[in-house]
Structures are given as C-alpha cells and as structure tokens.
Amino acid sequence: MQRIRTDLLVIGAGSGGLSVAAGAAQMGADVVLLERHKMGGDCLNYGCVPSKALIQTARVAHAMRGAAQYGIAAVAPQVDYAAAKDHVAGVIAEIAPIDSQERFEGLGVRVLRESGRFVSPTEVAAGDHRITARRVVLATGSSPLVPPIEGLDEVPYLTNESLWDLRELPGHLIVIGGGPIGMEMAQAHRRLGSEVTVIEGAKALGKDDPELAQIALEAVRGEGVEIIEGAQATRVGGSAGAVTVETSDGRTVAGTHLLVAVGRRANTADLDLEAAGIETTRTGIKVDAGLRTTNRRVYAIGDVAGGLQFTHVANYHAGLVVRSALFGLPARASTRILPWVTYIEPELAHVGLTEAQAKKELGMGVEVARFDYAHNDRAQAERHTRGMIKVVIHRGRPVGASIVGHQAGEHINFWAYALASKARMRDVSSMVSPYPTYGELNKRVAGAYFSPKLFESSAVKRVVGLIQRWLP
C-alpha cells in the first residue's frame, strides 16, 4: 500500500475535474487526479463532442435536399453511416490530446487510472494507493438512466454511450425520451435517412419555454419525425432488428433499433460516500451554495452535484471550487446565469428565468418582449426565418431570455453576459449592431420593449409637441 499526501485530490477526469486539476496545478498546488475510464469523460467520448459531429453530418445531408431554395439543384444525399461515425471518431481524436493523461502530467498533475472510494472522512483508497488530501473534489459525472420498463432488459437497446459503436444506419429508430439528447439524435437520424419515432411520457423539450419549444417541435415534426407525447413506454419486446414498444395510451410502435434517452443519474455508487459522512439527494450529492458537501473538506461539481447537467456548468463549478479550495475565498454558484442549448434545428436556447418562472417568483413588474427572425434581413437572405427571441424583463433589467432559431446557441451568449453583468435593457438598446447580422435580433428585441413606451405614449407625444414649439 502506497500512501500519498496531496493538497487536492480530484476524482473524475471529465470536463469539470480536468478544469480543476489544470487550474490548481498551474497555480502551484500539488494535485492527484483519479480516472478509472476514459480521459475527457462523457462530454468528449459520448456526449457533446460526438453528438455535435453527427448533427453536423446530418445538417449537410439536409442542406443537400433543400438546396433548391437557393437556386441550386437539390440532390438526394448518399449517406454512408459508417463513414459518418468515422468522422465522429476523427473529431474526438483531434480533441483528445487536450484531455490526455500525458498533457496533464506535463502540467504537474499526478494521474492515476484507478477508481476512488472513501475509507474515512479524510482518506480515499485507489488501487494500491491510500490518499490523504487537504481538499477533495468529486467530479464523477453521470451515466444514462435506464428506466424499469418491462422487457427492456431482454431486448437490445442503445444509450448515448453505446450509440457511437453502431455502424449501420437504423431503418426505424425508436427513441424513448423527448429531452435534448433524444430530440437531437431523433432529428439527426431522420436527416440521415432513418424513420424515427419519439415516445415522451410528458411534454417533449418540457424544460424550455413552451411557446418556443412548440416552434422547434413543429420544425422537427415537419421533417418527418413522429413525436408521441403524454404516453409512457410501458413494455418493450422483440429482438435485435425488430423491436416493439407499447405505450400507456395503447399504441404499439415497431422499429429496428431502440435508443433510451430518458435522463441521467449521478455516478455515486462506488464512492462509499457514507464512510466520508457525505449525504446524497434524489438527484446526486448534497452540496451547499459553495458546492461543499456535508463533509466540509469535500466538494462536488458538475453532474454529480445534482443540478443542471451540462459541460459548461461543470466548468463554471470548477472555477468556483479553485477559488474556494486554493485561496479560501467565498464562492457561490448561481443557476440564474447558466444557459443551455438544444442543438436541433432550429436551435433552442435559454438563460435565466422563463416567463412563467418570472411571474411566479417576481410578481408585479414582469414584462415580455419578442422579436421574430422573419423581420431580420440576414435571416431572410439565408432563408432561416423560422424563429423568435423572447426576453423576460423585470423593472428594466432582463432576467431571462429564450431563443428558437438559427444559431440560437450563439446568440444566447449575449444574454448570458447581460444577466451576469446585470445590464439594463437601455444598455442593450444603445448597442450598435452591424448590418446585416443575426445579432441585430438582440437590439431589435430591446426596441420592441421600448417602442410601446415611446410611440404609444400620449405623455411622450405631448412633451415632443411642447419641445417642438420652443425649438428655433
């Protein structure tokens, strides 16, 4: 048994854990990093990176079919699904060195390819090592949640992890789950040539603003994806290549492949948290506003902390923990400034409070401004007119924004900054945006907010009239 004493022990080499390890080591801390599986975690190997690579392939195929609107002959793409997966693997391979063990060892991090488990409130066992650290950061992420559906354990099914091993295009892909992962993969596979049916027990894209989610879902349905809402999958049957799913409303859906995408569960099972006095919740590890667990020496970040499950959230958490663990400075995580994006087309993006949340939490003084993509000249020029930006305002400040439309994920950055910097709508309206750009949407929605106050106000008209009489 080899004993190690260190300043900081990080368990999990996904995005959050790597950010903590890199930052702490470069600032002079002694850091040990444990990873039992792949460096880079879910995001690099199974999540954000491969999914966006496949979505881009599907987007190109879709553009070929729709080229006629630009005066170019439309063609039916010849999709090589195995080659598309090679493209995905190539993208992962290009990024992997940034997350590699060799790079982090070069930064001064001691990397052990072992799992870690607590043996006491102050010690972690990892293979033949016993590690004592001043501070521990749990960044073990999450795994696909597999629901207890009758017959599911007897039928081959895919998750967001095993999907990337598939080399043959599904003839008919059944997706259980209408959240971001389910809808992204549904549209991508439809564009690549599969028949696709999505089964969602509640509302598809139910965490987003319903007004904007409906616009996105209509677009996906318009491409031929069948979306069944309000129906639970109750039983699965069949065999490889011939799967059936029975639903709570009496339907039976038959397909060739099944993707289970109903959510994710925090990876806590192998940590022996009780030995460290660390409590859990239904969604993950219990943490306070500073991301400390019930063991004050231990932090939890990213998916395992039980909040929003996005890579950028894990990276945001990492910055707060480095501030707290290395410098002893106060750090407080806020969900109000955390954006998210669903990468279907049109994209669906959000930050802050939705209209319903704002009216419930803030009460009086909540206003909503909207502006359509169809009134943006760049959107007209490129035929991306389906979409809308919607901003929720309280006492002159934006408190939330939702966007559905072309590159919504890029445009939400502006509103994430506006919320983080506590900007006012007058600040947005004073911005000069180059013409013609999609970025004009942000200025124009501010104009939509101020227009009734300026152009429909009798008081403003009276003041202007008086001033005109006195001007030389």
Binding residue per annotation — 116? yes
Q: Are 151 and 236 in contact (CB under 8 A)?
A: yes
> Is 218 annotated as contributing to ligand binding?
no
| Residue 439, marked binder | no
Q: Is 263 annotated as a binding residue?
A: yes
| Structure token digits, residue 445 | 């929605």
Residue 335: Cβ within 10 Å count = 10
- Tell me the three-class secondary structure of the chain, residue by residue: CEEEEEEEEEECCCHHHHHHHHHHHHCCCCEEEECCCCCCHHHHHCCHHHHHHHHHHHHHHHHHHCHHHHCCCCCCCCCCHHHHHHHHHHHHHHHHHHHCHHHHHHCCCEEECCCCEEEECCEEEECCEEEEEEEEEECCCEEECCCCCECHHHCCCECCCHHHHCCCCCCEEEEECCCHHHHHHHHHHHHHCCEEEEEECCCCCCCCCHHHHHHHHHHHHHCCCEEEECCCEEEEEEECCEEEEEECCCCEEEECEEEECCCEEECCCCCCHHHHCCCECCCCECCCCCCECCCCCEEECHHHHCCCCCHHHHHHHHHHHHHHHHHCCCCCCCCCCCCEEECCCCEEEEEECCHHHHHHHHCCCEEEEEEEHHHCHHHHHHCCCCCEEEEEEECCEEEEEEEEECCHHHHHHHHHHHHHCCCCHHHHHCCCCCCCCCCHHHHHHHHHHHHHHHHCCHHHHHHHHHHHHHCC
184 is in an annotated binding site: yes
Cα(255)–Cα(197) distance, rounded to whole angstroms?
A: 8
Annotated binding residue at 141? yes
Question: At 333, which amino acid appears?
Answer: A
Annotated binding-site residue? 303: yes
In this structure, are residues 176 and 233 in contact, taking their beta carbons and an 8 Å threshold? yes
Is residue 367 marked as binding?
A: no
Burial of 272 (0-12, 13-18, 19+ CB in 10 A): middle
409 is in an annotated binding site: no
* Cα distance between residue 171 and residue 86, in whole Å: 20
352 is in an annotated binding site: no
Residue 385: what residue type? T
User: Where is the binding site, in residues?
Assistant: 52, 116, 140-142, 177-184, 200, 263, 303
User: Where is the binding site for NAD(+), in residues?
Assistant: 177-184, 200, 263
User: Where is the binding site for FAD, in residues?
Assistant: 52, 116, 140-142, 303
